Amino acid sequence: MEVLISTIPDSVKRLISESSSVDDLRFTCSSLLNFFRNSLFFHQLVSDLTNLDTAALCRKNKEAAMETKAKGNECFDRGEYSGALRFYSQALRTAPNDAQDKENNLVSTLYLNRSSTLHKLGLIQESLRDCNRALMSSPAYAKAWYRRGKINSSLGNSEDAIRDFSVSLIIENSLAGKRQIESELNLLSKQPVIRSNDINKPNENSSDENIQVELRCVSGEARGRGLVASTDISPALLVHKEDPYAAIISKPCRETHCAYCFNELPVDTVPCLSCSAPLYCSEKCRFQAGGEELPRFEDDDFGGSLRQLPTELLQHIRRNYVTSSGESSSDGEQFHEHRHECRGMNWSSVLPSPLVLAGRILVRNIEKRTHKSDGIPVNHSFYDLCQNYGRQPAERKLDFHFFSVVLLYCLHQFNPSRLPLDSAIASQ
């Protein structure tokens, strides 16, 4: 990108260097936009960042997923379960949701393989969650119901285990498979039935202590705006809590922490449905970030062997679906921060994190304000963040302008009507 910056004419650089306030931004951004509109070098850069071809860095790729799955299978066969876990998780990141692996859905197969690996590692709860995920995509997957029955049996949830095995028995086609399931059911029938508990429900009873602290807003030339307390505050007390307007995970933490809540990732990570970039700790965080979820349970969607099931077992499937999906729902105010970055484009992974964060702020503001205005929404409060713009060195001002134009072109791919190639948007 340094080479591209060096192509900017001296006259435009001079305009940017001499700009001293936010009042100059629309004019300087317009000058740079006009130059880059005719730059083949610049448009090649934008193409590399936004194209959805087979070489895209974050694109789903069935061939890559199958290759990584094969490596996981080799590790599993050798008893190298930690290696198998790593390969299956990587394959899940790149596997398209509609890809098939022989007669089964590839994503469901990978979740089931990882579930078996987690079970071998003694991670029972994680193994159960992966079984549920396999069934979310393939509710008529007999092997997944059998695996889920084995896990529930080991957890002592004999009631759920019996129902899992019963579903598997009805939809299993092979005689050998049916005999194996019947053997498990016979073993369970000799044990007392234990009703399942709510082992998958998180503890949500914790709450922060309410503290009455008087705060006031102050503004200074050096530090800008902020909050100060009117009285002394004891150490370790919660004074103020609010959700961030926008947030982004640091690049070094992308492989170890959830891209939405920033908590440390569990071993059973959940990938994005449309690209291979972010990792989440749960389906709930994935939905909050991207706004995508798997189709909801509908009885009419199930044909063939599932229609043979008694009402009790159909209700069991429905309960499993609701528990696994977490009933991810949001009100109209929910901002899905990853949605405009998704679909496999490279730019959100390649560009600096602060620049991607700026894009999230801009998109959220525009989505929030568009319904109030027929034209391009311009939030003048953004300019309040530029109190020190005039003090920035010339090189920094040039970088600000350059990356703003690059970001605008990337965002334009997501929503051309709301994010036009306009100096007003670039200046924000």
Q: What's the structural domain count of the chain?
A: 2
The structure tokens 């972010």 sit at 278
Residue 211 lies in a domain: no
Of 157, 189, 221, the residue that ends a domain is 189
- With residue 218 as reference, give the H or E element that holds it: strand 215-220
- With residue 271 as reference, give the H or E element that holds it: strand 270-271
- With residue 225 as reference, give the H or E element that holds it: strand 224-229
pLDDT at 334: 72
The answer on 155 and 128 residing in a single domain is yes
Contact 292, 150 (CB under 8 A): no
Quick one: tokens of 20? Answer: 């001293």
The answer on 136 and 34 residing in a single domain is no
Residue 297 lies in a domain: no
What is the spatial distance between Cα 65 and Cα 88, in angstroms, rounded to a whole number?
Answer: 9
Average pLDDT per consecutive 10 residues, the chain (428 residues; last block may be shorter): 90 90 86 93 90 74 96 97 97 93 92 96 95 88 92 89 89 89 86 57 47 74 75 77 87 94 96 92 91 59 61 74 54 75 82 92 81 52 66 90 93 85 84
The answer on 135 and 75 residing in a single domain is yes
The answer on 366 and 414 residing in a single domain is yes
The structure tokens 């399931």 sit at 181
Beta bridge partners of 329: none
Between helix 311-325 and helix 158-171 the angle, nearest 10°, is 110
The answer on 96 and 14 residing in a single domain is no
Supply the range of the domain harboring residue 361: 2-51+345-427
The answer on 66 and 185 residing in a single domain is yes
Outline where DSSP puts E strands in 347-391: none
What is the spatial distance between Cα 409 and Cα 178, in angstroms, rounded to a whole number?
Answer: 57
The answer on 66 and 10 residing in a single domain is no
What is the spatial distance between Cα 272 and Cα 44, in angstroms, rounded to a whole number?
Answer: 27
- With residue 100 as reference, give the H or E element that holds it: strand 100-101
Residue 172 lies in a domain: yes
Of 172, 189, 206, the residue that ends a domain is 189
Residue 264 lies in a domain: no
Contact 56, 72 (CB under 8 A): no
What is the spatial distance between Cα 419 and Cα 51, in angstroms, rounded to a whole number?
Answer: 18
Residue 422 lies in a domain: yes
Find the CATH number of the domain harbouring 103. Answer: 1.25.40.10
pLDDT at 247: 92
- Report the greatest alpha carbon distance in the chain: 87
pLDDT at 12: 92
In angstroms, what CA-CA distances link 126 with 85, 114, 121, 262, 349? 12, 9, 10, 19, 28
The answer on 70 and 47 residing in a single domain is no
Quick one: tokens of 379? Answer: 């939030």
The answer on 71 and 28 residing in a single domain is no
pTM of the model: 0.82
The answer on 180 and 74 residing in a single domain is yes
What is the spatial distance between Cα 382 and Cα 304, in angstroms, rounded to a whole number?
Answer: 57
